[in-house]
Structure 1
């Protein structure tokens, strides 16, 4: 199973889990050297296209810079994608009844 094909609920659960992993660097700051690029890669796998690349760049910067680790980037991206975005969802099925 690839990450881009996961359901909305699974993406939210993964996002919360990935945000929690990011909090490890508050206790152990050198973890950022591993987690910053990993979080960017995971973001591109969860969210395809331009918005995934932009979110990956934001995630990388947020994890790499000190004191910004408290921002739940994956959860915010999920909210943007599934709650606040006005884009037409691709998982909707439209049935034309004539």
Structure 2
């Protein structure tokens, strides 16, 4: 694998951090589901910028829906996409 394609892949630690931020409503007692209204579009935009392309657009839409829907913030969208890209896009 060349260096350029390795650089274009997102970092696992970054993906894990984004998923933890998405779960902030469960981790911090003062945060509520209302924080997801602000975080969801930002998360979807970051998802698209990190993964890019058609799969990035689809993943960003899934990420947006997942963040906006109550009670399913625990799904690690970024981490799933990381492993999907790592194992299936070779």
TM-score under structure 2 length normalisation: 0.81
Structure-2 residue corresponding to 1:42: 46
Gap regions ≥5 residues in structure 2: 1-5
Deviations 1:25-61 (A, max 9, x none): 2342211011100110000111110000000000000
| Corresponding pairs, count | 81
Distance across 2 between alignment mates of 1:35 and 1:73: 14
Q: CA RMSD in A?
A: 1.7
For 1:72 and 1:64, how far apart are their aligned partners in 2? Answer: 14
Question: Computing the radius of gyration over CA atoms, which structure comes out larger, 1 or 2?
Answer: 1
Q: C-alpha distance in 1, partners of 2:54/2:61?
A: 11
Structure 1 stretches of 4+ moved >3 Å: 5-8
- Correspondence for 1:95: none
Looking at secondary structure, tell me which structure has more helix per residue: 2
- Structure with greater contact order relative to length (CA < 8 Å, sep ≥ 6): 2
Unpaired stretches in structure 1, ≥5 consecutive residues: 89-98
Q: CA deviation at 1:7?
A: 5.7
